[in-house]
Structure 1
Amino acid sequence: MEPDNNNRNQQGPGNNRRQTFWVITICLIISLMLFSVFGDMMNRTTSKTITYDQFLEMVEKDQISKVELEDEKLIITPKDAYQSGMTMTYSTTLVGDENGLNDVLKGTGIEYSKKAPNVAASVASAVLSIVLPLVILLVGWNIIMRYMNKGGGMMGIGRSKARNYVQKDTGVTFADVAGEEEAKESLQECVDFLHNPAKYVQIGAKLPKGALLVGPPGTGKTLLAKAVAGEAHVPFFSLSGSEFVEMFVGVGASRVRDLFDEAKKAAPCIIFIDEIDAIGKTRDSHYGGNDEREQTLNQLLAEMDGFDSSKGLLILGATNRPEVLDPALLRPGRFDRRVIVDRPDLKGRVNILKVHAKKVRLDETVNFEEIALATSGAVGSDLANMVNEAAILAVKHNRAAVSQKDLLEAVEVVLVGMEKKDRVLSKEERKIVAYHEVGHALAAACQKNSEPVQKITIVPRTMGALGYTMQVPEEEKYLNSKKELESQIVVLLAGRAAEDIEFGDVTTGASNDIERATKLVRAMITQYGMSDRFGLMGLAEVESQYLGGKAYLNCGDETATEIDHEVMKALKAAYGQARQILLDNKDALDRIAGYLIIQETITGKEFMQIFRTVQRERTAQTELPEQ
């Protein structure tokens, strides 16, 4: 029975062609009718007003064949009246009386007659020439609207824009979704209900009317919704929240009604509304009012209350801003479940890489766990992009399969951009960048709570970096201790410290490091309770946690000033610690920076070899006098 429902609700290409044919045919008929009406009007006698003297001159030249007197007005028909498909006449006002006119025309052979004015005919002609075209236009417009808008508003504005996908069109199942096992488990029950509703109805259970998919962009919310439809083998109605809202008030509500009418006919089915916050924002003045959006939301709430979930109609919504949604939309009985689709962990990233690499030819060097460790915080779309970039790089280097080197390079391309080989730094700038990056690496190597260095490079990148130091954790971590955060701050500020130590001056190259360090220190003080002065007091709130999580201070002005002083104090202490580390290892800083200037890029292994060699030499020199 499902294929019949799908065919009945889909607008196939045959239906579109028939509608287009009828619209064109009706437009042609209306054009012909209008042409006929206006053609008849054009073919009627066309009159030109002349003076009475010009009339007398035409009489003398024997240019007139007929004269009619109608209500003190002379209608003059010249001998060559028929020109270019129309009858040309002249008109003039009678001067004098009728007897004087008879004297003028006497003996000229001009046909003369007197015509009584036909008021009724004149009025009917004027009315017909105005009303008939309007009637034809209105009738034609009504016919066109019936074909273009069955069940909607003007020009189809009120019709739902839902795209109906059946199983063969989605082609997505849970096997195609990796890294979100908890979300799949939550949705699996909905799939089972759509497959076997009887066993749930028998025990008295009801299918959740709606499930809200919440998570950062790119985590696979839309993919999960399609997978639910693919697993359940039911029609899939997909819309974006912005498609409901138009300039005209009431259009969105009409589209919601039309969508649910179509879905009820196709049940069991799934309605998926992406970016539902576009119509589901809370109805208060804090986020701004909008009559059209609020009417659309009210209609959506009414429709969700009105349908019977036992018929197998499931609504899925997706958003990355759940905090702005209206409470009425989130209460039980509407969106009963909230499914968190968060950033994948280490195991999830490995599985995602494997899913996206199914159709990619790989060689034996590929190690997905190493790539997953290097991409902490990446979402599914990022990882898919990295696999694709690796395949492109393999083709670029004329390799038959993707290698681990291609994948690692693809990670760098996605994170910091392509290498800018055409940008040539001066000798002085290359030296500054080399010391800056080696400063980061040395600060990381000399602290116990830092992540190991994977790579150092001074090759400029398209995203603006003149060089960078890549650190890769040894294992996946979900918590950071205070000491680890303090080590991160020292590493961030060590680049600026290296510039100051070597050149006695600083550059603009540390701007991003300073920004990140300041943000981290401020979070430690206001959010993590890691300040000795403020203790466990929460001083900031995070909004839009799935869109970067921007923090806003929740304190008075005096406290905010004290926070600034604490941030300044912590940064100054971290910078002093970074300077001391680099001063203690100045010989290693010089040697590694010189090697980096020549090689441009060195691995973490090469960096540690040089660093340990310098340490051994330093130890040997200090022990010589004692011997």
Structure 2
Amino acid sequence: MEPNTGVTFDDVAGVDEAKQDFQEIVDFLRTPGKFAAVGARIPKGVLLVGPPGTGKTLLARAIAGEAGVPFFSLSGSEFIEMFVGVGASRVRDLFNKAKENSPCLVFIDEIDAVGRQRGAGIGGGNDEREQTLNQLLTEMDGFTGNSGVIVIAATNRPEILDQALLRPGRFDRQVTVGLPDVRGREEILRVHSNNKKLETDVSLSVIAMRTPGFSGADLANLMNEAAILAGRRGKDKITSKEIDDSIDRIVAGMEGTKMTDGKNKILVAYHEVGHAVCATLTPGHDPVQKVTLIPRGQSRGLTWFIPGEDPSLVSKQQLFARIVGGLGGRAAEEIIFGEPEITTGAAGDLQQITQIARQMVTMFGMSEVGPWALIDPAVQSSDVVLRMLARNSMSEKLAEDIDTSVRRIIDNTFEIAKMHVRNNREAIDKLVEVLLEKETLTGDEFRAILSEFTIVPLDKIKKTGVREMIEA
């Protein structure tokens, strides 16, 4: 009844706000008198919302380990059966058993399986599911009520849940468990590296900076991949090389066969150096982390960047700089080899920069079209059915204005990228020469060579010997 899950709040990192909410519930269960003295009543339900892999189920396991009260754990799909009335009967049985053992905790994982919006007529809803949901609504806050039973539920699709389920009195609190920031990622990495042997030069803060957008599950997988690589290479400790290779593998795919063809290799080298030079010389772009000619996934070569700050808020200048950097490869091909020799290598870059430019116009209001959102939320919803049913209310004139603005942004940035390539041809030739020889250039090596030919902005340089040298 009091499960030893082996997980406590010490094992949960990077979600401090959610942890604090749950710590409060644990205190409520342990010392109810302290809260009752000021007229507080115990919350009936807590809904955990967030993307997959952020630690929602882990938090529930931690609260089970910490609370010291009976804990019932099940999945939303366990209520749904093909037989009529089974789901509602299981909900009744669950809450009857929970009331007998109150105070207690009930954890329902993936509650969207049973709590989907009623009467929507889309998404595969049926009467059996609705009866199960009705019974759940009644048990959580109906005529009889349920004192001492706290329901914790988790979902990554809150937009499809029934509104009656989300109201105060049923789920009193909605706790968002989002993707961790830099500090959160560092704490998560520290938790997952406790049982691993790391070389002394491995910096968890640098790994955290290199992994924006990674969830807790991604970071756990990263450290495990690094440990597997270290074992495969016969090492007794994980070094920075294993961690770098693991990040590259997770983000870009497996390492491919190295290129031997002279012409293709030279072209890819100019393409990647074009990205790195245009990004470095454009204000607002993140600093280069490394440039490599080693193929990964579909890419023949890659240029990596380290985000300078947490990328949750991005300025217009930063978005503009990303488009310039993204077009640097195509600009280098066109200027150095001529327009007839441009290749299909820029296909992925063009998709990315077109998406950024369109978002600047239609979502962020960063163009002459005006500061207003031009896309219906249903159109950009992840739900396929909602997208099919959404009516596009945009006029032909507005659609034309949007296309014109997107094209203007991309044309302007392409001219800037070509200007950077023309003005720094000597530096690009030197960088390509070194890159062809070494196949991989670190960010510091790249900036040291580039600074011999032009002034590198100081915000693109980390606190290393290169920065002191350039400042001097």
Both proteins in one fold, TM over 0.5: yes
Distance 1:353 1:548, change over 3 A: farther
2:354 and 2:393 map into 1 onto residues whose CA distance is: 19
Distance 1:205 1:510, change over 3 A: same
Shift of 1:262: 2.5
Q: Indicate conservation of the 8 Å contact 2:259/2:265, yes or no.
A: no
In structure 1, the residue matched to 2:426 is 587
Q: Indicate conservation of the 8 Å contact 1:440/1:491, yes or no.
A: yes
In structure 2, the residue matched to 1:23 is none
1:323 and 1:368 map into 2 onto residues whose CA distance is: 35
1:408 matched to 2:244: yes
1:401 and 1:548 map into 2 onto residues whose CA distance is: 45
Shift of 1:541: 4.5
One-letter amino acid of the structure 2 residue matched with residue 239 of structure 1: L
Distance 1:426 1:251, change over 3 A: farther
In structure 1, the residue matched to 2:86 is 251
Distance 1:546 1:258, change over 3 A: farther
Distance 1:195 1:545, change over 3 A: farther
One-letter amino acid of the structure 2 residue matched with residue 601 of structure 1: T
In structure 2, the residue matched to 1:577 is 416
One-letter amino acid of the structure 2 residue matched with residue 221 of structure 1: K
Q: Indicate conservation of the 8 Å contact 1:439/1:498, yes or no.
A: yes
In structure 1, the residue matched to 2:72 is 237
In structure 2, the residue matched to 1:512 is 348
Shift of 1:543: 6.1
1:613 matched to 2:445: no
Greater shift in the superposed pair: 552-561 or 497-506: 552-561
CA RMSD of aligned residues (A): 2.4
Q: Indicate conservation of the 8 Å contact 1:216/1:546, yes or no.
A: no
1:413 and 1:609 map into 2 onto residues whose CA distance is: 27
Shift of 1:176: 0.6
In structure 2, the residue matched to 1:159 is none
Shift of 1:254: 2.1
1:383 and 1:191 map into 2 onto residues whose CA distance is: 27
Shift of 1:267: 2.6
Instruction: Determine which of 121, 135, 140 is the counterpart of 1:299.
Output: 135
Distance 1:597 1:441, change over 3 A: same
Shift of 1:536: 1.3
Shift of 1:246: 2.5
Distance 1:284 1:562, change over 3 A: farther
Instruction: Determine which of 337, 341, 353 is the counterpart of 1:503.
Output: 337
1:251 and 1:455 map into 2 onto residues whose CA distance is: 58
Instruction: Determine which of 432, 435, 438 is the counterpart of 1:596.
Output: 435
Structure 1 runs of 4+ aligned residues shifted over 4 Å read 306-309, 541-555
TM-score by length of structure 2 reads 0.89
Instruction: Determine which of 394, 417, 420 is the counterpart of 1:556.
Output: 394
One-letter amino acid of the structure 2 residue matched with residue 233 of structure 1: G
* Counterparts of residues 352-371 of structure 1 (less than 5 Å): 352-371=188-207
Shift of 1:202: 4.3
1:546 and 1:365 map into 2 onto residues whose CA distance is: 44
Shift of 1:508: 2.0
Distance 1:563 1:299, change over 3 A: same
Instruction: Determine which of 91, 100, 107 is the counterpart of 1:265.
Output: 100
1:335 match: secondary structure: coil
Shift of 1:284: 3.6
Q: Indicate conservation of the 8 Å contact 1:215/1:342, yes or no.
A: yes
* Counterparts of residues 11-30 of structure 1 (less than 5 Å): none
One-letter amino acid of the structure 2 residue matched with residue 610 of structure 1: I
Shift of 1:167: 2.7
Shift of 1:556: 1.1
2:81 match: secondary structure: coil
1:416 and 1:577 map into 2 onto residues whose CA distance is: 28
1:541 and 1:433 map into 2 onto residues whose CA distance is: 40
* Counterparts of residues 186-335 of structure 1 (less than 5 Å): 186-285=21-120, 287-288=122-123, 289-306=125-142, 308-311=145-148, 313-335=149-171
TM-score by length of structure 1 reads 0.67
1:389 match: secondary structure: helix
Shift of 1:384: 0.8
Distance 1:339 1:467, change over 3 A: same
One-letter amino acid of the structure 1 residue matched with residue 439 of structure 2: E
In structure 1, the residue matched to 2:364 is 528
One-letter amino acid of the structure 2 residue matched with residue 348 of structure 1: G
1:428 and 1:548 map into 2 onto residues whose CA distance is: 45
Distance 1:424 1:522, change over 3 A: same
Q: Indicate conservation of the 8 Å contact 2:212/2:311, yes or no.
A: no
In structure 2, the residue matched to 1:431 is 266
Q: Indicate conservation of the 8 Å contact 1:219/1:381, yes or no.
A: yes
Shift of 1:452: 0.8
1:548 and 1:570 map into 2 onto residues whose CA distance is: 30
1:296 and 1:569 map into 2 onto residues whose CA distance is: 54
Q: Indicate conservation of the 8 Å contact 1:180/1:341, yes or no.
A: yes
2:409 and 2:314 map into 1 onto residues whose CA distance is: 18
User: What are the superposed Cα offsets for residues 168-216 of structure 1, whole Å, 9 maximum, x if unpaired?
Assistant: 2x11111110011011111111111111223334443221111011111
In structure 2, the residue matched to 1:346 is 182
Distance 1:242 1:351, change over 3 A: same
One-letter amino acid of the structure 2 residue matched with residue 556 of structure 1: M
2:452 and 2:418 map into 1 onto residues whose CA distance is: 22
Distance 1:543 1:335, change over 3 A: farther
1:513 and 1:326 map into 2 onto residues whose CA distance is: 40
* Structure 1 unaligned spans of 5+: 1-5, 7-165, 617-627
Instruction: Determine which of 368, 382, 388 is the counterpart of 2:218.
Output: 382
One-letter amino acid of the structure 1 residue matched with residue 54 of structure 2: T
1:285 match: secondary structure: coil
User: What are the superposed Cα offsets for residues 25-59 of structure 1, whole Å, 9 maximum, x if unpaired?
Assistant: xxxxxxxxxxxxxxxxxxxxxxxxxxxxxxxxxxx
In structure 2, the residue matched to 1:481 is 315
2:354 and 2:32 map into 1 onto residues whose CA distance is: 55
2:407 match: secondary structure: helix
Shift of 1:567: 1.3
User: What are the superposed Cα offsets for residues 276-316 of structure 1, whole Å, 9 maximum, x if unpaired?
Assistant: 112212124364442122111111111111465542x1111
Identical amino acids, percent of aligned pairs: 49
Return the structure number with greater relative CO, CA threshold 8 A, min gap 6: 2
Greater shift in the superposed pair: 551-560 or 368-377: 551-560
Shift of 1:404: 2.5
1:565 matched to 2:404: yes
2:234 match: secondary structure: coil
Shift of 1:344: 0.9
Q: Indicate conservation of the 8 Å contact 1:206/1:309, yes or no.
A: no
Shift of 1:490: 0.7
In structure 1, the residue matched to 2:288 is 453
2:452 match: secondary structure: helix
Instruction: Determine which of 233, 240, 264 is the counterpart of 1:397.
Output: 233
- More strand per residue: 1
Q: Indicate conservation of the 8 Å contact 1:215/1:320, yes or no.
A: yes
Q: Indicate conservation of the 8 Å contact 1:216/1:547, yes or no.
A: no
Q: Indicate conservation of the 8 Å contact 2:282/2:324, yes or no.
A: no
Q: Indicate conservation of the 8 Å contact 2:279/2:328, yes or no.
A: no
- The aligned length equals 447
